[in-house]
Amino acid sequence: MERLIQKIEPSVDISHKLRNVAAYARVSSGKDAMLHSLSAQVGYYSELIQSNPEWRFCGVFADEAITGTKESRPEFQKMLAECRKGKIDLIITKSISRFARNTITVLETVRELKMLGIDVYFQEQNIHSISADGELMLSILSSYAQEESFSASENQKWRIRNDFEQGKICNIRMLGYRRTTNGSLEIVESEAEIVRFIFLNYLSGNGKLLISNKLNEMGIATINGCEWTTADIHRILQNEKYAGNMLLQKRFRENHLTKRMIRNDGQLPKYFVEESHPAIIEKSIFDAVQKKLEEQHQRFSTSKSVASYPFTGKIQCTCCGKNYRHKITATGNVWICATYNTRGKKYCPTAKQIPESTLISVCCEILSIAEFDANIFENQVEKILVPAPNKLIVQLKNGKCINTTWKDRSRSESWTEEKRAAAAKSSKTRRWRKCQK
């Protein structure tokens, strides 16, 4: 007996019941043409929604130059938050690929919105997510959109790597150079002077902290318009392009979905192109700087693994807001404000390094324990604030705050065992010489 299968359409009248309508738009490139396209989309959707008398306009949510991952799109997240508050009934978007490139992201989002009674209309595919066939079609088409995105990404990678093999640079934005219309690099002399200043100062004995402070005091900003840091100085000193050479494919994109840039530590080939463009720094100077950088690295590097300390993340400077970090000095283990340590006293004048033995002693006294116990400290102490030199505010997890002070160690107290031994030996030598007279 042949069974009769009848399709029952949803009883919800989508076109008439929905009132609160919003739109979502996205472009995946920061180029002016694409941003103009985004502006046009915003205008189109605003007019479309407001021209319908049965719809209440709830805005157009638009992300510029952002990937299709849900987490990285602030406007997308804002739209979802409005949906969860019950302020939107219908979302209109151009296509599945504009909504999200990841099949899982599309389906998860649509399912959540469907449970909230919210419909998503994809114009190119002519699909309402709340309809009976919506999820099946979305699953098929979003998989296709994801594969299309992957294919486009692979084609782009092939083009870039083909350019690398030929010694061509695809894009560049760095201090001292600009890319011409024919793709070559030319020197921007006003910026090149800053680069030369950095190299010559470092070679003459000035540290990266001092150089960055000098540039900030002179009112000179980085290529991104920010204040200089030691990391910025280090990147410039290491950049082979300033000597007229190029090392290509130092970094690459993780995948076509996240598009996160990661360092190339051998996963892909690199290409070194000599004399690819005019040099700002002479080869002899560049090589001398690299030698000095390596000597500094060897001097301060350690083969030991990074240790974890009970005070890590617990001590905060109230002057600059930065945490204190662990440091090994000639007098032993100390904790020092991160700003003071990397930028100097001028940028955090009230910070002062605190001996670890002093912190342990203070915590033992406050917690009423004979010996320092990391577990007790972690369970009972929320934060240690440093408002001024030799002053501490210990915030306990029970809400209590304890103000305390500490004294500087005497010179003999700060000596290491090696220093004590050397001092004792020196004292014996002086006494022996005195007896010989």
Q: List per-block mean pLDDT (blocks of 10 residues) for the chain, which spans 437 residues.
A: 57 57 80 62 91 92 65 85 93 84 73 87 85 63 52 51 50 81 83 94 90 91 88 90 77 52 64 78 92 83 57 88 85 86 79 88 90 89 89 89 82 54 62 60
- Quote the pLDDT of residue 59: 93
Helix (H/G/I), strand (E/B), else coil: 371: coil
- Quote the pLDDT of residue 390: 87
- Quote the pLDDT of residue 352: 83
Cβ atoms < 10 Å from Cβ of 435: 7
Per CATH, the architecture of 14-149 is what? 3-Layer(aba) Sandwich (3.40)
Q: Which of the 8 DSSP states describes residue 70?
A: G
Delimit the CATH 3.40.50.1390 region(s) of the chain.
14-149
Q: State CA 213 to chain mean position distance.
A: 23
- Quote the pLDDT of residue 57: 94
Task: Please state, in angstroms and rounded to a whole number, the distance separating the CA atoms of residues 408 and 11.
Answer: 79
CB 75 within 8 A of CB 63: yes
Q: Which pLDDT tens digit goes with each residue over 194-245? A: 999 999 999 998 988 889 989 998 999 998 888 888 889 999 999 888 888 8
The first and second tokens of residue 234, run together, are 């280090």
186-300, which class in CATH? alpha beta
Task: Please state, in angstroms and rounded to a whole number, the distance separating the CA atoms of residues 192 and 175.
Answer: 7
Complete edge-to-edge strand list for the sheet that includes strand 127-128: 56-64, 20-27, 90-93, 119-122, 127-128
Delimit the CATH 3.90.1750.20 region(s) of the chain.
186-300
CB 27 within 8 A of CB 19: no
Pick from 193, 183, 186: nearest CA to 241: 186
What does pTM read for this prediction? 0.43
- Quote the pLDDT of residue 6: 62
